Amino acid sequence: MTGHSAMRKFHLFIAVFIIALDRATKWLITQKIALHDSIPVFPSFFRITHVENRGAAFGLFADSTSEWKIALLILFSVIALVVVSAMLWRNSHTMTTTGIGLALILGGAVGNLWDRLLSGKVVDFLLFYVGEYQWPAFNVADSAIVVGAALLVVEILFVKTEPEKSPNS
């Protein structure tokens, strides 16, 4: 059981690190950059900006006027947290891409849920663009979720697992 415990602590560390980094960066942005202001980092490519997202990831449903939007986003986040936590608990016995991916998703989901529960919106600040084309602003939590999901896809598509041997083999 020692291996399980060590891996669970490692995965928990990853999730807590993402939550702490997300909270710290969002706090810094809200303290140092006025809402809708930005700082060019690489002109014509990347800027740090301060926007608030009242929708889902990357601004999805932000323009929805439904009175249920926030409650549904919170409910969806809680359900996702329960599912990811259960999967992480089951897959935490060894060091795998799946475990790291799930820990990143868990940390990111908690980071954005924290904002949504406190204020009904999420602080986003990383903005990539080329000319007039831009990717919706995002944050550390969103980044962790995307990287975690990408790790899961890589694991599913490219990592070969040993086929289970039947007892009659």
Give the residue carrying structure tokens 């080329």: 130
**Which is more confident, 30 or 61?**
30
**pLDDT tens digits along 67-111:** 655 667 677 778 888 888 888 777 766 778 888 999 999 999 999
Residues shown for the chain: 169
Distance of alpha carbon 88 from alpha carbon 107, whole angstroms: 12
Give the whole-number percent of the chain exceeding pLDDT 90.
Answer: 50
Q: What b/e readout covers 128-167, taking b as 16+ CB neighbours within 10 angstroms?
A: eeeeeeeebbbbbbbbbbbbbeebbeebeeeeeeeeeeee
124 is catalytic: yes
Residue 165's pLDDT band (boundaries 50, 70, 90)? low
Average model confidence (pLDDT) across the chain: 84
Q: What is the pLDDT of residue 1?
A: 46
* pLDDT exceeds cutoff 60 at 141: yes
Q: What is the pLDDT of residue 27?
A: 97
Annotated domain spans of the chain: 2-158
Query: Annotated catalytic residue: which of 22, 37, 115, 124?
Result: 124
Say what the pTM is.
Answer: 0.81
Q: What is the pLDDT of residue 7?
A: 85
Query: Annotated catalytic residue: which of 22, 37, 115, 142?
Result: 142
63 is catalytic: no
* pLDDT exceeds cutoff 70 at 123: yes
**pLDDT tens digits along 42-73:** 988 999 999 998 765 544 455 555 565 566 76
